Amino acid sequence: MNIILLGPPGAGKGTQAQRLVAERGMVQLSTGDMLRAAVKAGTPTGLKAKAVMEAGELVSDEIVSGIIGEALDKLSPETGVIFDGYPRTAPQAESLDALLGERGRQLDHVIELEVDEDALVDRITGRYTCATCGAGYHDRYKQPKVAGVCDTCGGTEFKRRPDDNEETVRTRMAEYRAKTAPILPIYEARGIVSRVDGMADIDAVAAAIGDILGG
Ligand code: AP5
Ligand code: MG
């Protein structure tokens, strides 16, 4: 099974992808996470991406489709994939079709997380992650069970993203509206789009996604 989680910044793509990884053994391919890893490692891709990401703009289609292709090549054919934050433009959607086709995969579901934009700034500015394992938290909506200790790995160091400030979030939302939302009709024409109320609480969103995926 190969699925796309689509939605604006802060919609809950990463949160729900982590649930699917834990509950269904799927693999999450987040271009945002992969680019942040490249920035941290100081690779040539990371050097190109850093300023673009900090401004909230989109990294080039060639770079992101390249890293998705490389990531797919590391997976066994039967592993289910969750695309989180990719594709984000019409050329990326076209590349994804080619990348999947070349590997004998097909796209089963595109799940759009529908959210109220006013809530997104609040979600994003309150977000932090475990510095050790990357598990995601929120100052109010998802706190660790024991304060200061990661539920998943027991780590005690947490970090915040440099692009998680209000000004950059507004640019990221504008990029989503202008370049990403317009790719939905491509998938609607194939009859594979489902919509989920992303304003519901995290468990309810996960249950709705589970209903769509079945089994
Ligand atoms: P990326 O990392 O993909 O960021 P994004 O799309 O802006 O999305 P976010 O990660 O901010 O939000 P999310 O939907 O994952 O929300 P989350 O689950 O964390 O991209 C970053 C940058 O990289 C881009 O700006 C661009 O520069 C570059 N890039 C990446 N991919 C690219 C591509 N394909 N092409 C070009 N450039 C690319 O949730 C947010 C918070 O809310 C969390 O704290 C969570 O706990 C909380 N929360 C989640 N769900 C709920 C809920 N239901 N109720 C209450 N709280 C909730
Ligand atoms: Mg994310």
Token digits of residue 137? 């938290």
Distances (CA, A) of 192 to 40, 88, 101, 186, 195: 36, 17, 17, 10, 10
Q: What are phi and psi of 195, to 5 degrees?
A: -115, 140
Active site residue 172: yes
Q: How far apart are the C-alpha atoms of 190 and 185, rounded to whole Å?
A: 9
For residue range 174-213, list pLDDT tens digits in order: 999 999 999 999 999 999 999 999 999 999 999 999 999 9
List ligand 1's pocket residues with C-beta within 6 A. Answer: 7, 9-15, 31-32, 35, 52-53, 56-59, 64, 85-86, 88, 92, 123-124, 126-127, 136-138, 141-142, 172, 198, 201-202, 205
DSSP 8-state assignment for residue 158: E
Average pLDDT, the chain: 96
Residue owning tokens 């089994």 = 215
Q: How far apart are the C-alpha atoms of 50 and 193, rounded to whole Å?
A: 32
Q: Are the C-beta atoms of residues 171 and 54 closer than 8 Å to each other?
A: no
For residue range 82-123, list pLDDT tens digits in order: 999 999 999 999 999 999 999 999 999 999 999 998 889 999
Strands (DSSP E) found in the chain: 2-6, 27-30, 81-84, 109-114, 127-130, 136-138, 158-159, 193-197
Ligand 1, residue 87: give the atom nearest the CA: 34
Q: Which residues pair with 130 in a beta bridge?
A: 158
Active site residue 13: yes
Q: Which residues pair with 206 in a beta bridge?
A: none
State the catalytic residue, choosing from 19, 50, 105, 127.
127
More confident residue, 16 or 117: 16
State the catalytic residue, choosing from 161, 170, 179, 195.
161
Position 169, amino acid: V
Query: pTM value?
Result: 0.95
For β-strands 127-130 and 158-159, DSSP reports them as: antiparallel
Q: How far apart are the C-alpha atoms of 146 and 31, rounded to whole Å?
A: 30
Active site residue 161: yes
For residue range 62-86, list pLDDT tens digits in order: 999 999 999 999 999 999 999 999 9
Contacts of 181 (CB under 8 A, 6+ apart): none
- 17, 2, 3, 8: which is closest to 114 by C-alpha? 8
Residue owning tokens 């929120």 = 138
What is the model's pLDDT at position 215? 76
Active site residue 195: no
Q: Are the C-beta atoms of residues 2 and 108 closer than 8 Å to each other?
A: yes
